[in-house]
A and B are shown apart, each in its own frame.
Chain A
Amino acid sequence: EVVLTQSPGTLSLSPGERATLSCRASQNIVTYLAWYQQRPGQAPRLLIYGTSTRATGITDRFSGSGSGREFTLTISTLEPEDLGVYYCQQYGSSPWTFGQGTKVEIK
């Protein structure tokens, strides 16, 4: 099974700053990677799929990049509502797996 390792564990930034979240896969998953945001007390929400395609209704402040084993989610200018835990999910190989999450805190 593909193991996804996310870093950092926690990111604490001020509004307006740029956030860079990483996801590393234990094997090549081409571009079969998605990102989700989970706000406190809510279900996850799909942000990005296919490494870089934004899901319906997702602001262009969120962007994804990468291929193979290394992937990045960038939030260009942080807003207070961006707080939460961000998960990557790979679907290049079954079983589909998730990373352990990066918590984004707003200072």
Chain B
Amino acid sequence: EVQLVQSGGEMRKPGESVKISCKGSGYTFSNYWIGWVRQTPRKGLEWMGVIYPGDSDTRYNPSFQGQVTISADESITTAFLEWKSLKTSDTALYYCARILVATGKTFDYWGQGTLLTVSS
């Protein structure tokens, strides 16, 4: 059974850093792109970027380029989303999701979500 299990909720102050994770199981992790999606009440769902764990090829939505870093570690079948300097506007629910091979650009399995709260 394909599963994506995300790390728990995080609370940080503006300017701090954080790295959240997404562990895949039940499939060959290296062979599927994994993406990150942000959800907020104001903007809804936003695609942030994707990574191919097999070679760490990474693509970003221009709106998020330079704001976050997506990475993956094949050896522990885990993808990561990292911020170096958080803003209050980063407060959101973040999902990781596997990319469907048939389209290369839609998400067939999703993690349970990680709530990030940034507040002073």
Which residues of A line the B interface, CB within 8 A? 32, 34, 36, 43-46, 49-50, 53, 55-56, 87, 89, 91, 94-101
Contacts and interface: CB of A to CB of B under 8 A. Distances in A.
A101 B113 CA distance: 18
B63 A95 contact: yes
Contact of B45 (A46, A87, A91, A94): A87
Interface residues of B, number: 23
B59 to A, nearest CB: 8
B100 A46 contact: yes
Contacts of B103: 32, 34, 49-50, 91
Secondary structure call for the A interface: loop
- Top 3 nearest A-B pairs (CB, nearest first) are A91-B105, A43-B110, A98-B45
A45 B106 contact: no
Contacts, number: 60
Nearest to B6: A43
Contacts of B63: 95
Given A91-B103, A96-B105, A43 B111 contact: yes
A49 B106 contact: yes
Nearest to A46: B108
Contacts of A96: 47, 61, 105
B44 A44 contact: no
A56 B111 CA distance: 17
